Chain A
Amino acid sequence: MTDNNNHIVIIGGGHNGLVCAAYLARAGKKVTVLEAAEQVGGAAITREFAPGFNVSAGAHLLYMLDKNVRKELSLDSAGLSFSQQNMRTTALAEDGNHLQVSGDTLQGGTISDKDRQAMKEYRRFMNRFAGVINRLSNRIPPRLGTRDRGDWISLAKTALNIRLLGKSDMREFLRIAGINIYDVLQENFENPLLKGALSLDGVLGTNLGPRSNNSVFCALHRLSGLQGMAMPKGGMGTVSTALANAAAKHGALIRTSTVVSRILMEGDRVSGVELSDGEKVDAGTVISSADPKTTFLGLLGARNLEAGFAQRVQNIRMRGNTAKLHLALNGAPNFKGLNQNQLGDRLLIAPDIDYVERAFNYSKYGEYSTKPVAEITIPSLHDPSLAPPGKHVLSAVVQYAPYQLKTGWSESKAAYTGQVIDLLAHYAPGIKDQVIHKELLTPVDIESEFRINGGHWHHGELAMDQFLMLRPVPHSAQYASPVNGLFLCGAGSHPGGGVMGSAGRNAANAVLGARNNEDLQS
């Protein structure tokens, strides 16, 4: 055994890669993070998209950051701070009678007392159920069909978590977890604007419409951070910088602009990675925060895998359906009927739940929505450092925009961008004249900028068949892969995407645990 066998290389300095590096370095391991881009962060970055205008280019709201990660890595002292926390949501109404949602409180719109009451109950049970997902997220999923004590305890805990909801809530949890959010919202609410807004919780960033199954599950996953929406000061890159600081403080080496071109094998185990310039970095353990397809089929190569496993990896559903719009504006936009106080909210364009379902319909056939849905933020209102004085940045998640567009994105991107801006102008007349610069990232752009196969921000559709011990696929769902010495730590692994860091933390635990088994001793 040489020194290099003790060296751990982490492919990708996204937030999960950095979290994993920080934990391993903290445990005394020799860790090197190799990040292809010029800055760390992956899809959790702040970057300039027009001179003087900065934006969180990938994720733009923080609401799932693993509290253990934040505490254990002392992120607050490593530079994490917020420009806005516990953000409210305002659902934009075409007639300007907008609806503001703050926790379980509703303001504006034409909300009945019944809906107000229902909202309190809806929040109560959704938060309780999200708590189940939360507790699942913070540990290594159990393997099925083993006699391992740890697996059985973990399975039992999972069952216990659900049982402890109590008879009535457990029954409701089991009833709705697998169904669609359309049905659940129809059961609970009357107001179309409210239902439209809440439905987005279940479909943003997915290939689902409100009527698709798994949309309740996605909503629960989204709420499972059990925290309000927040904007890091300086954009999402601040989270990554804090993580990089924490990792570096513990002794991890972070190399940026370092592109890994392949994972090297020696016999039946990994021996390191090769960089795009031909340099070889020796390592006894390689941990990839890249998505599973990129890791296994791209960097490692299917020939180093068994065929059944390679096929399962190839079949992971991970095509993005979400675009990201960035606008540089020469002033704050004026939304009809929106007061200054609300402009800084998380603004939604989802006027009713059928509107959302219709928007989704197009994507089933490889077309983009002619009337998209959007989640809009204007971060420069909270954080003036992001734009030149008096100017503003608008960042919007826009759906639906299928990765495999029939007409091709190179042909159709301009038309889609125009359509999205038309949509904004419908709610904020005059915005077109304010646009100094615009940038739209289609899933294809997301794929190339963030190196995510298929451009899916979760590195794989979040669904019950791709969750827990099934994520990304069986035999690599406990972060270890079938290849000796190769681990996963990215969003493609349990518990999935969103700026959480849980996958990175769990993976570090798996790697440290594996140190005791024969797998890593050879």
Chain B
Amino acid sequence: MSVVSNNDKVQAIDYSTKEHYLTKVFQSPFYSRQEPLNHLKEWGRWADYLSPRAYTCSAMEYFACRNACTVFDLTPMSKYRISGKDALPYLNRLVTREVSKIKPARVGYCIWCTDEGQAIDDGTIFHLGEDDYRLCSQERHLDWLLTNTIGFDVQMTDETHEVAALALQGPTSCATLRKMGLEEIDSMKMFDIRDFPFEGTQLTISRTGFTGDLGYELWIDPGHAEVLWDRLFEAGHLHGIQAMGDEALQMLRIEAGFIQCRHEFMPAHATVRSGHTRSPFELGLGWLVDFNKPNFNGRKALLAQKKSGHRYNLVKLDIDGNKPAHDSYVFTRNKKQIGTVTSAIWSPSAKASIALATLETPHGEPGEEVLVEIYYQKELKWSRVMATARVVSEVFYDPPRKRLTPPADF
């Protein structure tokens, strides 16, 4: 089941093997292992897949990730294989950064835009081999990626359903993989990709993640999904391995300061209201925009925006008190409304109420003090505080172990 494009060839998706029309939703190839562990039966949706919101207790899962290691099912993530003679120029036209800087067997973070310079999604490019890349993202982008093939000699394959993937994250993740018998896993640096023989198939591991901690992502064919899960949990047994759902992941990624599509920005192609989209500059991702490239989607508009100035700054807020500032308005000291909180938690590791927020320019310089209007309720009684908050430049939680190579043994 895949989609292949070579310019004018007719596209067709063959879903006939998937019987998804009976269930309306796909089960992950790890479902048989997730289901018994999911005591809460709290299933969310990630695109066309079931995705656990939490297995037992999201706080426990969070702590497992910060103190041991957790397994999160990444299979629903969109995975597009881009290969062929023009794979590099294709990607360079698609995303705003210079893709040639992503060396073979390395992963690079990227963002891509419409012609109008508005963010469609962010994601990662895996440089798997010569003229062979994989683009991963939260949202589905088949149509846009096919549109982008016009004039390029590339093959674009949707392998979302062909590749099962797990994120193994946390301080004991390396030890777990080593115990599983993956030789020299220690020598992998951040953003490295390496293949390992595994149960007669190939297991691809990248030292990447969405938790801001030491961690890896594991990629394998769906036929070996269950055995991979089993082997991981055997090896990780004494390393505190736990299955983790999306709620815990949200806490982790906010602590790490990672933005997420549909939280910090709307995918431009799913946005109908004028002005409700964001440019990379407005997401703090100006460093991913390389105007040395003569052409990429959105270049002209972004050049113009660079000149005229962008509308919003995405900032990290350190908020007084202990109330999470969900969906809060942000004000100046003079009570002028200047923005909204996009993601907020009480951070167990930073021991602070933290948030990501979008502020109208020129607000959002590090050190600026703002007010955050927080509504909270205790037993149905609502209260409101105007909490003082500071714009901070550092990530809320950034342990050195995340970068250390070889990782420390926990």
Q: Tell whether B294 is near chain A: CB-to-CB under 8 Å.
A: yes
B148 lies within 8 A of A307 (CB): yes
Residue in B closest to A484 when the chains form the complex, CB atoms: B300
**Closest Cβ–Cβ distance, residue A448 to chain B (whole Å):** 19
- Contact check: which of B86, B89, B152, B298 meets A306 at CB < 8 Å? B298
Cα A306 to Cα B115 with chains together (Å): 6
Residues of A at the B interface (CB closer than 8 Å) are 265, 267-268, 297, 301-311, 314, 475, 482
A306 lies within 8 A of B300 (CB): yes
148-182 of chain B: CB within 8 A of chain A: 148, 150-152
Q: Which DSSP category, helix, strand, loop or mixed, fits chain B's interface?
A: loop
- Contact check: which of B86, B89, B152, B299 meets A268 at CB < 8 Å? B299
5 pairs of residues in contact across A and B, judged by CB atoms under 8 Å: A304-B294, A306-B296, A307-B93, A307-B150, A482-B115
Question: What 4 new A-B contacts, CB under 8 Å, besides A303-B93, A304-B295, A310-B147?
Answer: A307-B144, A307-B297, A308-B147, A482-B300
B299 lies within 8 A of A302 (CB): no
Instruction: Note all chain A residues with C-beta closer than 8 A to B295.
Output: 268, 303-306
Instruction: Note all chain A residues with C-beta closer than 8 A to B144.
Output: 307
**Contact string against A for B residues 98-138, beta-carbon threshold 8 Å, 1 for contact and 0 otherwise:** 00000000000000001100000000000000000000000
Instruction: Note all chain A residues with C-beta closer than 8 A to B147.
Output: 307-308, 310-311
- Contact check: which of B150, B294, B296 meets A302 at CB < 8 Å? B150
A310 lies within 8 A of B150 (CB): yes
Instruction: Note all chain B residues with C-beta closer than 8 A to A305.
Output: 151, 295
Cα A305 to Cα B295 with chains together (Å): 7
Q: Tell whether B241 is near chain A: CB-to-CB under 8 Å.
A: no
A311 lies within 8 A of B150 (CB): yes
Residue in A closest to B145 when the chains form the complex, CB atoms: A307
Instruction: Note all chain A residues with C-beta closer than 8 A to B298.
Output: 306
**Closest Cβ–Cβ distance, residue B112 to chain A (whole Å):** 10
A297-B150, A297-B151 as given contacts; A306 in contact with B294, CB under 8 Å: no
Cα A302 to Cα B90 with chains together (Å): 10
B299 lies within 8 A of A308 (CB): no
A267 lies within 8 A of B151 (CB): no
- Contact check: which of A301, A302, A307 meets B115 at CB < 8 Å? A307
A308 lies within 8 A of B150 (CB): no
Cα A232 to Cα B114 with chains together (Å): 49
**Closest Cβ–Cβ distance, residue B299 to chain A (whole Å):** 7
Residue in A closest to B93 when the chains form the complex, CB atoms: A303
Most buried by A among B150, B151, B298, B299: B151
Q: Which 3 interchain pairs have the tightest Cβ spacing?
A: A302-B151, A308-B115, A306-B115
Instruction: Note all chain A residues with C-beta closer than 8 A to B148.
Output: 307
Cα A297 to Cα B150 with chains together (Å): 9
A268-B294, A303-B295 as given contacts; A308 in contact with B114, CB under 8 Å: yes
Instruction: Note all chain B residues with C-beta closer than 8 A to A311.
Output: 147, 150
Instruction: Note all chain B residues with C-beta closer than 8 A to A475.
Output: 115
Residue in A closest to B112 when the chains form the complex, CB atoms: A307
Instruction: Note all chain A residues with C-beta closer than 8 A to B64.
Output: none
